[in-house]
């Protein structure tokens, strides 16, 4: 399933895949809070970088059912679905970056770039507050790797 596919893809030490696709022996790092998990990945959630409710409010409500399903399960872009701790996923909920940022400050620039990338890739809108927050905070990113222009 999608969850296990993401867990397998994001493992820093690949898990063993047993009967009925049961995972064991893997290691993961939750980018949102920099916590490491070992074992089956059961302590991890798979989060949509841009949450479903945020996508809905940003234009996905006009999509047909097939496109909504594609968005919900997209594994073609590794930034789209991310394995993170359940606590950090619940903390984020359906908030945009102006309302929530990862506690792992070392991931902040990458988080913003990934957010913008998903919004652009799926042609989703940004509101004024979201845009201003992202633009202001991307200016603090010290490497050209994170130099992007938010054009929407």
Q: What is the pLDDT of residues 93-124, one digit of tens each?
A: 999 999 999 999 999 999 999 999 999 999 99
Residue 113 dihedral angles phi and psi, to the nearest 5°: -65, -45
In whole angstroms, give the CA distance from residue 26 to residue 136: 37
Higher pLDDT, 147 or 128: 128
Range 72-92 average pLDDT: 97
> Residue 14 gets which letter from DSSP?
P
In whole angstroms, give the CA distance from residue 73 to residue 130: 24
As beta bridge partners, residue 23 has 17
3-state secondary structure of 15: coil
- Is residue 81 over pLDDT 50? yes
The 10 Å Cβ neighbour count of residue 85 is: 20
In whole angstroms, give the CA distance from residue 44 to residue 89: 9
Tell the residue number behind the tokens 């908030």, with chain if given: 95
The two structure tokens encoding residue 104: 């792992």
Residue 10 dihedral angles phi and psi, to the nearest 5°: -95, 0
Find out whether 23 and 16 touch, Cβ atoms under 8 Å.
yes
**In Å, how far are 16, 67, 111, 151 from 22, measured between CA atoms?**
8, 29, 30, 43
Polymer length in residues for the chain: 152
Q: Please, which pLDDT band fits residue 151 given cuts at 50, 70 and 90? A: very low
């Amino acid at each position: 399933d999608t969850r296990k596919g993401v867990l397998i893809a994001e493992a820093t030490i690949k898990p063993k895949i047993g009967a009925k696709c049961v995972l064991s022996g893997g290691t993961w790092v939750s980018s949102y809070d920099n916590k490491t998990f070992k074992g089956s990945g059961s302590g991890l959630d798979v989060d949509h970088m841009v949450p479903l409710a945020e996508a809905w409010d940003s234009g996905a409500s006009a999509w047909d059912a097939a496109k909504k399903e594609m968005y919900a399960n997209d594994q073609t872009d590794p930034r789209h679905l991310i394995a993170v701790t359940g606590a950090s996923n619940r903390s984020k909920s359906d908030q945009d970056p102006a309302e929530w940022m990862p506690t792992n400050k070392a991931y902040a620039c990458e988080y913003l770039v990934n957010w913008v990338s998903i919004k652009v890739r799926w042609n989703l809108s940004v509101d004024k507050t979201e845009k201003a927050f992202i633009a202001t905070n991307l200016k603090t990113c010290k490497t050209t790797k994170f130099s992007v222009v938010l054009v929407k």
